[in-house]
Copies of this chain bind each other. A is one copy, B any other.
Amino acid sequence: MPVSIYDIAKEANVSPSTVSRALQDNPHIGAKTKARIQKLAQKMGYIPSAVAQSLVTNKTWTIGVVITTSADPVVAEVVDGIEQVAQDANYAVFLGNSRNDPQREMAVVETFRRRRVDAIIVVASRVGKTYGSLQSQHSVPILVVEPQEHSGYHHSISTDNKGGAMLAVEHLIALGHRKIGYVGAIDRPISNNDRMLGYTTALTQANIPVVLDLISLPYCTDDIERGQMGVTDVLAAKATAVFCYNDRTAIGLMNACGQHGIEVPGMLSVVGFDDIEAATYIKPALTTIRQHLFRLGQAAMQTTLSLINEQDPPDIVLPYNLVVRQSTTVVPS
């Protein structure tokens, strides 16, 4: 068993409460005894029990992070950002994988509740509305990153999907493309809608008609596969360029292009979304919309801290920008 303040108290011939005070920044204690106790505690290898502290203060200094899988590089980067801010604020983070299973996701949230986390952050949820009732039922703040359902109950945060998508499509238009396809993710209703909206808006603003055949929404939850499935649709519609829901979709699509003898960017320009590391070293290097996922994670945790402290969350605007690489070029004549 680890040493307790009781052990220290006996050793120092003081009461446990004196020890407790010495170990905090409690003003009601003499400087000399304070120093003496602290030194003794150090020497005895005392490590305070967060468990006992939590029980009495009713605060655990933990947050629960729900993710699908850390194998997704987008998720991993967001988690990294969350963890960094949490660590600096003396919070520890619980990680719980849902593996895309709503039932498991609810189970994870339940264990977080049992553990009395101070807040919950959900990254890339597939569950949705359920959080509404949870939020109203209990008092644990819940923040959803890139929510896939609208709900008035929980807070949320995300990059400007519409703006980013517009930027991507405007880039293609500037290169002379008119037949621009979109391969979307049907299993991510909200962000997909926003990105598709950016796509259509950019087209409309350039007086280019929106052609439904150019829009592919494969019934598929795997990013890579989705791209492989989507490429046949956009090629059938004679697209000269395609904007993909995200980088991994673009990578899957470019992969399929290689198999079909379609040259990128010679015959088809490709733009992604996210700017994961692989975008830089794939051939051809992927033109994409960079969203700073690490900062997204940081912002999520910062917002969570405000929520915990019952302050108004800061209005964080997440940066995004176009990164032009080798997967896009002027329209073939």
Interface residues of A (CB under 8 A from B): 1-2, 45, 47-52, 54-55, 58, 60, 62, 65, 69-71, 73, 76-77, 79-80, 83-84, 87, 92-97, 99, 108, 110-116, 137-138, 224, 251-252, 255, 258, 277-278, 281-283
Contact = CB atoms under 8 A, between A and B. Distances in A.
Nearest to A77: B71
Given A70-B76, A70-B79, A282-B282, A115 B97 contact: no
A68 to B, nearest CB: 10
Contacts of A251: 281
Given A55-B55, A224-B281, 13 more contacts: A45-B137, A49-B116, A51-B116, A70-B77, A70-B83, A73-B76, A79-B95, A83-B95, A84-B99, A87-B108, A93-B95, A258-B283, A278-B282
A47 B138 CA distance: 11
Contacts of A116: 2, 49-51
A210 B52 CA distance: 60
B115 A92 contact: yes
Instruction: Count identical subunits in the complex.
Output: 2
Contacts of A70: 70, 76-77, 79-80, 83
Contact of A54 (B51, B71, B108, B112): B51
A71 B76 contact: yes
A282 B283 CA distance: 7
Contacts of A92: 94, 96, 111-112, 115
Contacts of A97: 80, 83-84, 87
Contacts of A1: 58
A140 to B, nearest CB: 10
A47 B140 CA distance: 13
A24 to B, nearest CB: 14
A228 to B, nearest CB: 11
Given A96-B87, A97-B87, A110 B47 contact: yes
